[in-house]
Amino acid sequence: MYKSAVLIVLATGLAMAQSPKYKVGKPATAGDIAQRDHFVSPDGKGLPAGKGTAAEGKSVYERRCATCHGAEGQGKEEAALVGGKGTLTTPKPLKTVGSYWPYSTTLFDYINRAMPFDNPGLLTHDHVYAVSALILYWNGIIGEHDVMDASTLAKVKMPNRDGFVADDRPDTGKRIKAKH
């Protein structure tokens, strides 16, 4: 009994010493959590207030996006946003928002969290909706004056929505036991 009690005290002492050693962590406040919670789900959960159209997105795009993505989204190597239809079965598939992306909500989420490249977080939510609308319009998915907002964006059906399948590996070698 006596030995067990000593061990518990030592173990507790070690656990408490870890945080000062590595200086990691502080309690998150409700404000911290709210400020970081900007995830957008494919059915539109998390989309904020705001709205925009392709027509409104053009000026923002020219100022903040065209340098890397080209004047009309054609991109420069990696950064193409439009085109690529019919290339997924060829030796050089071009994966763009139009030819590959399964969900329109990903467009809002990614622009909002990561763009523009040199200053993520710069764009207002209206700007993000407008630029999202512009890229969808360039890909022939919505009209130039269709309003994208928290209710309309998630309803846009992307051309390659049904182009994804679940992981069915192993697909080589001996097929033996069930996957875990």
Give the binding site for another protein (CB under 8 A). 22-25, 36-37, 39-43, 88-89, 91, 93, 95, 97, 100-103, 105-106, 109-110, 113-114, 117, 120, 163-174, 176-177, 179-180
Q: Which DSSP category does 148 fall into?
A: E
- Other Cβ atoms less than 10 A from the Cβ of 67: the count is 14
DSSP string, 27-47: PPPHHHHHHH-----TT-TTP
Closest CB 137 distance from another protein, rounded Å = 19
Closest CB 125 distance from another protein, rounded Å = 16
Closest CB 135 distance from another protein, rounded Å = 12
Six-digit token string for 14: 């070690």
Report yes or no: 83 and 94 within 8 Å, Cβ to Cβ.
yes
Single-letter amino acid, residue 38: H
Q: Which is nearer to another protein, 3 or 169 (CB)?
A: 169
Q: Which is nearer to another protein, 49 or 165 (CB)?
A: 165
Q: Which is nearer to another protein, 57 or 116 (CB)?
A: 116
- Other Cβ atoms less than 10 A from the Cβ of 104: the count is 27
Closest CB 150 distance from another protein, rounded Å = 16
